[in-house]
């Protein structure tokens, strides 16, 4: 056996997407053993493959917004719809930071701080490729509703809103945006837990998911079912002691239509950081 | 929703690798629901991600042997060992033919006919990256044993053996080599069956695998267990009427250590052709 070259940041990001969806059980999400009614494992495989050119662009130094839009556009070349929009929102700045040689909270904060109004506009264009689940915008910011897509461009430009600024507005209601403006705190902490964990990577992914879900309410669940349900979901995840118990929770969440998708996004981001920091597959 | 760009040949090849391993049940092989003792689903995910740069090189017109070696080298950046050597041997000329705009038996036969002695040498170098299961070489061709790796180079050059010539020598004992020198007949026929089939792509992959296994003895099984076992494996696959019955066969093959890996390689190749011909995921 000869020594093999390491994977590039874009390759690790794609692999993180694949390992995330393979991790099982991840209650309420598509995983190696479960599909959702119109969203299947194979859609995630195709989404990950399609996202890679955009991830490569992030590594090469293209504007973060353009790279994100390219990744989402490629991800959308499958029939399941929105498979990995949130994952990619986290991965794009992390890939950039890794390519620049500083995959740390400070390094990715620099990437976030450097985002522009054009990046924010590109983010809205990206949202036109798939249906993204979002809550209602804050009062006074109706013109920034993500569902407006590229029609929001004049409002973004008038407010001189960068992508960082947009994420700051969204952070209270969106766990991914909170990562963006909080130095990816939960991402880096979870990556270290994954590295310290043992066994197959897909089992570590499932445990990381459960820990994150028990730690804070999933904001996608909040958007879709309200705060009370999201709190209850968090409590139920916290009561799970191992992956075997999580299997039962997975059946329950599937029956109840509970989909903690933001927690899955964070899991993918943490897997990426862990891969960059030497996690062996 | 905007219209999304189609996937490139290299992207479809990587996706074919992922869909192949996700297809379940594929008795005796790693699939979405089964691992082998030291070969896990996650190794195949990492192998597919790592193979892509080599597949891109095949599409870009690099020599077939170099592209194959690059794909295998990238595939080997995981701890499971030989995940997709045989798949890549089939995919590389198919990707080249697709990139040249003629993904047909004649188009891929042209690619095969154009291979050189250098391609054969690169093929042996590729075999140094992982342990490849091969039978003993024919009498009088001991110096061409694949297990010699790059040490076989002088023998290859002395015989002026092209990669096509090498595959012709190997065809009687290796189902993948037989495809190379037979216009990829089973690959194209299976691709058409996959396209005519219905339902999730991963189910179609499993049915394609079973049809192929029932059609001819798997040559990896022959190498590992002998001709009698390979014939029996073929018969048992032929007796399976649906995926539910195949689940039982998967349990049996796992218990018996039967791994019809060449049939899995052919399935991946067929999925690639089907994707290029419009199979929707």
Q: Which of A48, A78, A129 sits opposite B2 (nearest CB)?
A: A129
**DSSP-based three-state secondary structure for B145:** coil
Measured CA to CA, the distance from residue A9 to residue A15 in angstroms comes to: 10
Distance CA A232, CA A118 (A): 39
Tokens linked to A161: 């809103």
The predicted pLDDT at position A141 comes to: 84
Contact assessment for residue A77 and residue B7, using Cβ atoms and an 8 Å cutoff: yes
Among the partner residues B14, B22, B46, nearest to A49 by beta-carbon distance = B14
* Residues of chain B contacting A128 with CB distance shorter than 8 Å: 1-2
Q: Check if B78 contacts A (Cβ < 8 Å).
A: yes
Minimum Cα–Cα distance from A73: chain B residue: B4
CA distance B26 to B237: 10
A33: nearest CB among B33, B45, B202: B33
Q: Look at residue A146 in the predicted model and tell me its pLDDT.
A: 92
pLDDT at residue B5 in the model: 54
* Integer CA distances (angstroms), A177 to A75, A90, B156, B275, in order: 20, 8, 58, 36
**What's the pLDDT score for residue A5?**
54
- Tell me, yes or no, if A241 comes closer than 8 A to chain B by beta carbon: no
Q: Distance between CA atoms of B281 and B227, rounded to whole angstroms?
A: 37
Name the residue of chain B whose CA is nearest to A132's CA.
Answer: B1
Alpha carbons A54 and A60: distance in angstroms, whole number: 10
Q: Does residue B45 sit at the A interface (CB-CB below 8 Å)?
A: yes
How far from A217 is each of A156, A166, B59, CA to CA, in Å?
29, 21, 46
Cβ-based contacts of A22 with chain B (< 8 Å): 41-42, 45
Question: CA A150 to CA A140: how far, in whole Å?
Answer: 19
Q: Which structure tokens are listed for A20?
A: 């995330």
B147 at interface of A, judged by CB pairs closer than 8 A: no
Q: Is A95 on the interface with B (CB under 8 A)?
A: no
Distance CA A116, CA A114 (A): 6
Q: Tokens representing A149?
A: 């897509």
Task: Give contacts of A204 with chain B, Cβ < 8 Å.
Answer: none
Residue A73 to chain B, least CA–CA distance (Å)? 6
- The pLDDT value recorded for residue B178 is 98
Residue in chain B nearest A18 by alpha carbon: B45
The pair of three-digit structure tokens given for residue B199, joined into one six-digit string: 């339902």
Q: Nearest Cβ partner of B22 from A1, A19, A45?
A: A45
CA dist., res. B158 & res. A276, Å (int): 45
Q: What is the mean pLDDT of each run of 10 residues along chain A (281 residues)?
A: 71 98 97 93 98 98 98 96 97 98 98 98 96 84 90 96 96 96 98 97 97 98 97 98 96 96 98 97 95
pLDDT tens figures, B23-39: 999 999 999 999 998 99
Q: CB of B11 within 8 A of CB of A50? A: yes
The C-alpha of A35 sits at a distance from chain B's nearest C-alpha, in angstroms, of 11
Residues of A with CB below 8 A from B40's CB?
200, 202
**Residues of chain A with C-beta less than 8 angstroms from the C-beta of B55:** none
- Residue in the block written with tokens 């629901």: B33
Alpha carbon separation from B128 to B57, B101, B237 (Å, rounded): 20, 32, 33
Tell me the chain B residues in contact with residue A1 when contact means C-beta distances shorter than 8 Å.
76, 128-131
- Cβ B262 vs Cβ B218: under 8 Å: yes
Report CB contact under 8 Å: B22, A11.
no
Residue B165, token pair as written in the block: 């010539």
Is the ipTM higher than 0.90? The answer is yes
Nearest residue to A262 via CA among A184, A175, A190, A203: A175
Residue B134's SS3 state is coil
Residue from B81, B84, B94 nearest B190 by CA:
B94
Q: Is A240 left (phi over 0), alpha (psi -120 to 50) or beta?
A: beta
Q: Is B7–A77 a contact, with Cβ atoms under 8 angstroms apart?
A: yes
Q: Is B31 left (phi over 0), alpha (psi -120 to 50) or beta?
A: beta
Rounded to 5 degrees, what are φ and ψ at A138? -60, 155
Question: Chain A contact for B5, CB < 8 A?
Answer: yes
pTM above 0.95, yes or no: yes
The whole-angstrom separation of Cα B95 and Cα B123 is 17
Rounded Cα gap, residues A172 and A175, in angstroms: 8
Nearest to B45 among A6, A19, A130 (CB): A19
The verdict on a CB contact (< 8 Å) between A77 and B6 is yes
Q: What is the DSSP string of B76-109?
A: TSSTT--SSHHHHHHHHHHHHHHHTT--SHHHHH
Using CA coordinates, name the residue in chain B closest to A19. B42
Cβ–Cβ contact A9 with B under 8 A: no
- Asked if A203 and A244 count as a contact pair (C-beta separation under 8 A), the reply is no
Q: Mind listing the pLDDT tens digit of every residue in chain B (281 residues)?
A: 444 558 999 999 999 999 999 999 999 999 999 999 899 999 999 999 999 999 999 999 999 999 999 999 999 999 999 999 999 999 999 999 999 999 999 999 999 999 999 999 999 999 999 999 888 887 888 899 999 999 999 999 999 999 999 999 999 999 999 999 999 999 999 999 999 999 999 999 999 999 999 999 999 999 999 999 999 999 999 999 999 999 999 999 999 999 999 999 999 999 999 999 999 99
């Amino acid at each position: 056996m000869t020594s093999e070259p390491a994977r590039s940041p874009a390759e690790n990001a794609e692999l993180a997407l694949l390992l995330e969806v393979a991790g099982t059980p991840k209650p309420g999400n598509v995983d190696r053993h479960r599909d959702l009614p119109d969203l299947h494992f194979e859609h995630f495989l195709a989404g990950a493959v399609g996202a890679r050119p955009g991830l490569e662009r992030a590594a090469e130094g293209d504007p973060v917004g353009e790279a994100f839009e390219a990744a989402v556009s490629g991800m959308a070349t499958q029939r399941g719809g929105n498979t990995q929009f949130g994952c990619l929102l986290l991965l794009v700045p992390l890939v950039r930071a890794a390519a620049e040689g500083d995959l740390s909270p400070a390094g990715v904060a620099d990437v976030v701080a450097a985002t522009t109004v054009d990046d924010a506009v590109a983010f809205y264009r990206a949202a036109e490729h798939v249906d993204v689940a979002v809550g209602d915008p804050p009062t006074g910011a109706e013109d920034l509703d993500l569902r407006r897509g590229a029609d929001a461009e004049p409002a973004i430009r008038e407010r001189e809103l960068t992508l960082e600024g947009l994420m700051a507005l969204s952070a209270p209601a969106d766990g991914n945006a909170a990562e963006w403006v909080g130095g990816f705190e939960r991402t880096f902490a979870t990556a270290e837990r994954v590295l310290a964990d043992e066994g197959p990577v897909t089992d570590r992914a499932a445990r990381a998911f459960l820990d994150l879900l028990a730690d804070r309410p999933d904001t996608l669940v909040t958007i879709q079912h309200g705060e009370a349900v999201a709190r209850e979901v968090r409590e139920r995840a916290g009561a799970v002691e191992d992956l075997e118990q999580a299997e039962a929770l997975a059946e329950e969440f599937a029956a109840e239509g509970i989909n903690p998708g933001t927690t899955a996004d964070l899991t993918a981001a943490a897997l990426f950081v862990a891969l960059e920091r030497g996690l062996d597959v």
